[in-house]
Amino acid sequence: MIADLQLDADVAEPTLTRTSDIDWTFAQHHPLQIAVCLRNLVANQDFVTVEFGGRQIVTQLLDVDSRNARFIFDAGNVAEDNRALPGARQLIFRSLPGGIRTEFTTLNATPIVFDGLPAFEAAFPALLYYVQRREFFRVQTPVLDPYTASGAYVDGGSFRLELQDLSLGGIALNTADERFGSLDAGTMLRDVTLQLGGFGTLRLDLEIVAPRRLTTPKGDRRYVIGCKFVQMPGTAERTLQRVVTQLETKRQTLAPRR
């Protein structure tokens, strides 16, 4: 289990300095927390900048191996930068998707082939700086028998959308419905019913905070609507805590060993 995972002794402490605006309250040390942060970047296909030796590439994380505390990221578009990257002693990763800041430093990466294409593999950082709007970790929800959110559109009618992820602070809705693509941050969704599988249902008000438009590899347009809970009764928070814990534990149990 990842909860028992210890990082190798040769994983470098990050060199992020206190001269920046980093709030070290949000520095994550535990491999479980780091894995969740990295997996969010993979799931959301967020772009990440990697700086090294006066160079940089723009990439995406492709896979996270929690058991071995390693992750894979895509090669860049410039061949010269890709050739130089394995020789770099230190790699600084930065991302700011949807107002969520992620920053960490690793040792050098190893060139590999992933899904038939060039990529790099690196060890988990010893520390990862991660700040969400609500300071909570998100976990991915089930693909089979997905959790759903249902309620009324602002302009009338009803919706029933799948949850992409959730945290103690909010949820992300995934839909192809263009009506959600036109909703702005600050829009309120009142009296939304969350169906959480065997955990039952919750009824909460949501505020849209991070609407995003994505294009799938097949060219389909999707909308990922990040929402925060307007109020969180104690009973609902306890239910969500159980959901988050079980989802991450189950994902670890089903993850293939490498």
* Selection from 118, 178, 120, 121 nearest residue 153 by Cα: 178
* Alpha-carbon separation of residue 112 from 53, 62, 90 (angstroms): 20, 12, 18
DSSP bridge pairs for 121: 72, 110
Above 60 in pLDDT, residue 1? no
CATH number at 149 reads 2.40.10.220
Q: Which residue has the tokens 């030796």?
A: 53
As for how many domains the chain has, the answer is 2
Q: Are residues 6 and 127 both part of a single domain?
A: yes
Q: Are residues 146 and 127 both part of a single domain?
A: no
Residue ranges making up the domain that contains 147: 139-254
Amino acid identity of residue 68, one-letter, is N
Mean of the per-residue pLDDT values of the chain: 81
Q: Which residues of 102-132 are buried (b: 16+ CB within 10 A; e: fewer)?
A: bbbbbbbbeeeeeeeeebbbbbbbbbbbbbb
Q: Are residues 127 and 8 both part of a single domain?
A: yes
Amino acid identity of residue 229, one-letter, is F
Q: Tell me, what DSSP letter sits at residue 135?
A: S
**CA distance linking residue 215 with residue 220, whole number of Å:** 5
> Which residue among 102, 131, 160 closes a domain?
131
Q: Are residues 218 and 114 both part of a single domain?
A: no
Q: Tell me, what DSSP letter sits at residue 124?
A: P
Q: pLDDT value at position 248?
A: 73
Q: Are residues 101 and 210 both part of a single domain?
A: no
Q: Are residues 111 and 153 both part of a single domain?
A: no
CATH number at 58 reads 2.30.110.10
Q: Are residues 22 and 63 both part of a single domain?
A: yes
**CA distance linking residue 59 with residue 50, whole number of Å:** 7
Q: Are residues 126 and 32 both part of a single domain?
A: yes
Above 60 in pLDDT, residue 239? yes
CB 120 within 8 A of CB 109: yes
Q: Are residues 126 and 217 both part of a single domain?
A: no
Q: Are residues 174 and 223 both part of a single domain?
A: yes
- pLDDT tens column, 93-149: 998 765 567 899 998 899 999 999 999 999 999 999 876 544 456 788 888 889 999
> Which residue among 131, 154, 180 closes a domain?
131
> Which residue among 89, 105, 131 closes a domain?
131
* Selection from 11, 28, 6, 34 nearest residue 248 by Cα: 34
* Selection from 71, 76, 67 nearest residue 37 by Cα: 71
Q: Select, from the ranges 25-34, 69-78, 94-103, 177-186, the one with the highest average predicted confidence (pLDDT).
A: 69-78
Q: Are residues 57 and 171 both part of a single domain?
A: no
pTM over cut 0.85: no
Q: Select, from the ranges 65-74, 90-99, 157-166, the one with the highest average predicted confidence (pLDDT).
A: 65-74
**CA distance linking residue 147 with residue 145, whole number of Å:** 7
Neighbours of 142 (CB within 10 A): 14
Q: Are residues 198 and 217 both part of a single domain?
A: yes
176 SS3 class = coil
